[in-house]
A and B are shown apart, each in its own frame.
Chain A
Amino acid sequence: MTTQIQMNAVTQPRQRGLTLILILGLISVGLLAPLVVYPVFLMKFLCFALFACAFNLMLGFVGMLSFGHAAFLATGGYITGYAMTHFGLTPELGVLVGTLASAILGFVFGKLSVKREGIYFAMVTLALAQLVFFFYLQADFTGGENGMQGIPRGELFGLIDLNDNLNMYYFVLAVFLLGFFVVYRTVHSPFGQVLKAIRENEPRAVSLGYSVGNYKLLAFVISAALAGMAGSTKALVFELESLTDAHWHMSGEVVLMTLLGGMGTLFGPVVGAAIVIAISTLFSGGELGNYIHIIMGAIFVMCVLSFRRGVVGEFQRVMARNFSASRVGK
């Protein structure tokens, strides 16, 4: 334990500096990307990256596998869609409303589930998400199988027309960065330290006097809200919200993204989302279209067998090995 603390003390400022440089580099890439790549593809990627980051907050930093995050993605989308269509809100307010709705749903889910652990927690969240799925399937306002069609993108602050793909892209990028910043701040705060403590050794965290349940609940609500924000933004991008987002496949897909990229790392979910979205887009048109799930499955098996920390996790390990500072720690 003492060596662990030493290592953290030595590497953390350095790591943080590196992370900051990396983030700034990625932001500039993000700003220039739509010149090269089709913006809608990028927007889809950013929405899923945010979704995966939100999910990773629970799985990677609290160590709890929620299998019901699709419910938050869909709730964000449907509520934003409804608000934009019927109340004529501006997009930033629409996203806010969707995010809030997901946060409230997250609070309800969390209240009912965080006292359970491991597989039981996963099953309770899955069951609740299925309830939500069937509600959206039957409810009139969602359009059922047809999906909620024709959600207007609207004008940002009543000024900037988001029907232009580039404008929309920068809006989505801003939303993503905001969400990513929230995750970053959460993880690098005393609150985040407690979450990690709970992940490493829950009984010890309890014995130190932390009310673990409340910490987990708050983390769950933040995660749900961010997932909702991703869903809201996605609904605006595609001007459509459908049951695909509420289906349990979606909850599985986000697990895949997070594990592929590297759970418990900041960038892992982003990389994971990039891989999954890129593969499904690449293959969707061609002859291999029917085999997407098999390809994904094979990649997942490979990941679990040979690089269990995920792409970013393994990368960090290799980097850490080559930094003398961390060697001292070991």
Chain B
Amino acid sequence: MKRNTNTPKAGFKLALHCSVAALMSVAALSAQAATGLSDNKVKIGVLADMSGTYGDLCGRHCVDAVNMAVEDFGGSVLGKPIEVVSADDQNKPDLGSAKAREWIESEGVDAINGLVASSVVGAVAQVANVNEKPILISGAGSNTFTTKTCSPFNAHWTYDVVALARGTVKPLMDSGKKKWFFITADYAFGHALEGVATGIIESNGGTVVGSARAPLGTTDYSSFVLQAMSSGADVVALANAGKDFVNSLKGAAEFGLNQQATMVGLLVFASDTKAIDADIIGDMRLTTGFYWDRDDASRAWAKRFVDRTGAIPTMAHAGAYSSTLHYLKAIKATGTDDGKAVMAQMKAEKPDDMFARNAALRADGRMVYDMYQVRVKKGSERSNPNDLYEIEHVIPGDQAFGAMKPECNFK
């Protein structure tokens, strides 16, 4: 063995040891927790599908809606600025969760809004829950976020599959249509919606004669429509959303399925209704959490939204605005952006704005408020391109949404 105290190798080894030691000490330092307003600002991330299947129902106009809420709040809270950042998740859980992780861990994002595809939200929720950051779910439908995977940091704002199925399925069952067929988006949201709707159908004496699972982002629905036609169902329910809903309904109309059976959309956003010919979608009954032409407050807000974006506001847009406003109010009231404290305050104070009526954020994170059963106007009834719905019923929140699970009571 030769002595090697002065060789480059030994020097390198020494450097290595030193750097590892340095790393360890830095790691120890960075483990300290922050209190009060972190980074001297409040940062809200808006994560959504910006240009794909769900681009129109939330997308970049959800960023506008969140910005509107920030501006209406005054642009600052507790004397500190409010910042909004956004990203496109392309409806891919891996992209969404990576972005959420980056935002929370390295960019000081305090809450995440938008959140459309349930598959993405599931992945994002895991990251956010561990880091104790609130997520304001404005676009996603699966009810798992307040049941199976409930967390003190989930605020499920706009709607969920239970409210949709209850609002839309029940009246059709009562009118004597008992045989159902589903065309379902093949991922978390579609499965959940079909599952809940099936439960309601079967408990009311109806049957589900079949279901076809179409991948998210399908453009050609002919094979699924043909399956539905040969099933002999009274009702063909579309358990999908966004462009999927538009394409599947148009496909059904091309084959004349809408003459043979009642077509019903279980999740329809105003942007989708507007994208479909009034002859096809006219007279459809559906459930929504927001319609712009409901009262003066909603009309005033919608006018500002349309002036800003040129698009018709959907319930996801309105929900993103409403949840952001309520979140900021909670920060102001508690004097901190600490996730736990803010969520507790959001649940203690009732949201009240142009979107949320008779509303409360329940202890399980479900925002319970009045939903609406609407009828789509026919072409001849419409006075302008955005004149889409006639509100037939107001569904009180406690009837619209499912009961709270005891294990999800985070008070």
Asked whether any CB of chain A lies closer than 8 Å to the CB of B105, the reply is yes
A19 to chain B, nearest CB (A): 16
Task: Give the contacts of A14-71 with B (CB-CB under 8 A).
Answer: 24, 28, 31-32, 34-35, 38, 40-41, 44
Contact with B along A214-254 (1 / 0, CB 8 A): 00000000000000000000000011111011000000000
Q: Is B5 an interface residue (CB 8 A)?
A: no
Whether a CB of chain B sits under 8 angstroms from the CB of A326 is no
Taken together as a complex, chains A and B put the C-alpha atoms of A34 and B186 apart, in Å, by 39
Interchain CA distance A289-B126 in the complex, whole Å: 25
Which bracket fits the contact residues of A? 20 to 34
Could you tell me if A290 and B51 are in contact, using CB atoms closer than 8 angstroms? yes
The answer for the CA separation of A40 and B99 in the assembled complex, in Å, is 10
Main secondary structure of the interface of A (DSSP, over half): helix
A8 contacts the other chain (CB 8 A): no
Contact residues in B for A285 (Cβ distance below 8 Å): 85-87, 99
Is A150 part of the contact surface with B, judged by Cβ < 8 Å?
yes
Report B395 CB to chain A, min CB distance, Å. 29
Contact assessment for A145 and B215 in the assembled complex, using a CB-CB cutoff below 8 Å: yes
Of residues 101 through 155 on chain A, the ones whose CB sits less than 8 Å from some CB of chain B are: 144-147, 149-150
- Are B187 and A38 closer than 8 Å at their CB atoms? no
Partner of B119, one of A32, A41, A147: A147
Indicate if the CB atoms of B23 and A239 lie closer than 8 Å: no
Find chain A residues with CB under 8 A from B94 CB.
147, 238, 240-242, 244-245
A145 x B216 contact (CB < 8 A): yes
**Beta-carbon contact of A146 and B215 below 8 Å:** no
Chain A 76-116 interface mask (CB, 8 Å, partner B; 1/0): 00000000000000000000000000000000000000000
Determine if B123 is an interface residue (Cβ-Cβ < 8 Å): yes
Given contacts A40-B105, A144-B187, contact A31 B16 (CB under 8 A): yes
Between-chain CB contacts (< 8 Å), 25 pairs: A28-B12, A28-B16, A34-B23, A35-B22, A40-B101, A40-B105, A40-B106, A41-B102, A144-B186, A145-B119, A145-B186, A146-B122, A147-B94, A147-B119, A166-B23, A238-B101, A239-B97, A240-B123, A240-B126, A244-B94, A284-B88, A285-B86, A289-B87, A290-B50, A290-B51
Q: Is the CB of A35 within 8 A of B26?
A: yes
With most chain B CB atoms within 10 A of its CB, the pick from A146, A167, A245 is: A146
Q: Give Cα distance in the complex from A38 to B98, angstroms.
A: 12
A28 to B13 CA separation, bound complex (whole angstroms): 10
**Known contacts A146-B122, A146-B188, A240-B123; is A38 also within 8 Å of B106 by CB?**
yes
For residue B350, CB closer than 8 A to chain A, the reply is no
Q: What chain B residues lie within 8 Å of A289 (beta carbons)?
A: 50, 87-88
A-B residue pairs, 9 tightest by C-beta? A145-B187, A146-B119, A242-B94, A147-B93, A38-B106, A166-B27, A146-B188, A289-B88, A285-B87
* B interface residues with partner A (beta carbon < 8 Å): 12, 15-16, 19-20, 22-23, 26-27, 31, 50-51, 85-88, 92-95, 97-99, 101-102, 105-106, 118-119, 122-123, 126-127, 130, 186-188, 215-216
Complex Cα–Cα for A154 and B371 (A): 43
The listed residue (B20, B87, B119, B122) touching A284 by CB distance below 8 A is: B87
Set of chain A residues within 8 Å of B105, measured between Cβ atoms: 38, 40, 165
| Contact across chains for B98 and A44 when beta carbons are under 8 A apart | yes
Q: Is A146 touching B187 in the complex (CB atoms < 8 A)?
A: yes
Q: Mark A261-285, 1 if CB is under 8 A from B, else 0.
A: 0000000000000000000000011
Establish whether residues A149 and B12, one from each chain, have CB atoms under 8 Å apart when the complex forms: no
Is A238 in contact with B97, judged by CB distance below 8 angstroms?
A: yes
A/B pair count, beta carbons within 8 Å = 89
CB-based contact B216/A149 at 8 Å: no
B188's closest neighbor in chain A, by CB? A146
A244 to B123, CA, bound (A): 14
Task: Report the minimum CB–CB distance from B140 to chain A (whole Å).
Answer: 12
Check if A239 sits within 8 Å of B126, measured CB to CB.
yes
Question: What is the distance, in angstroms, from A203's C-beta to the closest C-beta of chain B?
Answer: 44
B19 CB contacts on chain A under 8 angstroms: 28, 31-32
Q: How far is the CA of A22 from the CA of B206 in the complex (A)?
A: 71
B118 proximity list for chain A (CB < 8 A): 146
Name the residue on A nearest B51 (C-beta): A290
A242 to B92, Cβ gap below 8 A? Answer: yes
Query: CA separation between A166 and B94, bound complex, in Å?
Result: 21
Contact of A242 among B50, B88, B93, B215 (CB under 8 A): B93
User: Is the Cβ of B123 less than 8 Å from the Cβ of A147?
Assistant: yes
Give bound CA distance, A244 to B120, whole Å: 13
Beyond A32-B19, A145-B187, whether A244 also contacts B97 by CB under 8 A is: no
Residues of A within 8 Å of B130, CB to CB, are 163
Instruction: Provide the bound-state CA to CA distance between A78 and B123, in Å.
Output: 15
Residue of B12, B27, B87, B93 near A24 (CB, 8 A) is B12
Look across to chain A and name the residue whose beta carbon is closest to the beta carbon of B89.
A284
Kindly provide the distance from the CB of A28 to the nearest chain B CB, expressed in whole angstroms.
7
Q: Are A28 and B15 in contact (CB under 8 A)?
A: yes
Q: Contacts of B93 on A, CB cut-off 8 Å? A: 146-147, 149, 240, 242
Question: Inside 8 A of B119's CB, which chain A residues have their CB?
Answer: 145-147
Residues of B within 8 A of A44 (CB): 98
| Chain A residues with CB below 8 A from B31, complex form | 164
User: Which residues on A sit within 8 Å (CB–CB) of B101?
Assistant: 40, 238
Residues of A within 8 A of B97 (CB): 238-240
Q: Which residues of B contact A166 (CB under 8 A)?
A: 23, 27
Tell me the bound Cα distance from A242 to B130 in angstroms: 20
A238 contacts B188, CB within 8 Å?
Answer: no
Closest Cβ–Cβ distance, residue A38 to chain B (whole Å): 4
Q: How far does the alpha carbon of A238 sit from the alpha carbon of B23 in the complex, in Å? A: 22
For B127, what are the chain A residues with a Cβ–Cβ distance below 8 Å? 239
**Minimum distance in angstroms from A231 CB to a CB of chain B:** 12
Contacts of A34 in B (CB 8 A): 23
Q: How far is the CB of B31 from chain A (nearest CB, A)?
A: 8
- Once the chains are docked, how many angstroms separate the CA of A57 from the CA of B276? 52
Residues of A within 8 A of B26 (CB): 35
- CB-CB nearest in chain A for B216: A145
Q: Which residue of A lies closest to B97 (CB)?
A: A240
Kindly list chain A residues whose C-beta atoms are within 8 Å of the C-beta of B216: 145
17 further contact pairs, Cβ within 8 A, besides A24-B12, A28-B19, A239-B97: A35-B23, A38-B105, A40-B102, A144-B186, A145-B187, A146-B118, A147-B94, A150-B126, A164-B31, A166-B23, A238-B94, A238-B101, A244-B94, A284-B99, A285-B85, A290-B50, A290-B51
CB within 8 Å of B: which of A163-199?
163-167
From A31, A38, A144, A245, B23 is in contact (CB under 8 Å) with A31
Contacts of B86 in A (CB 8 A): 285
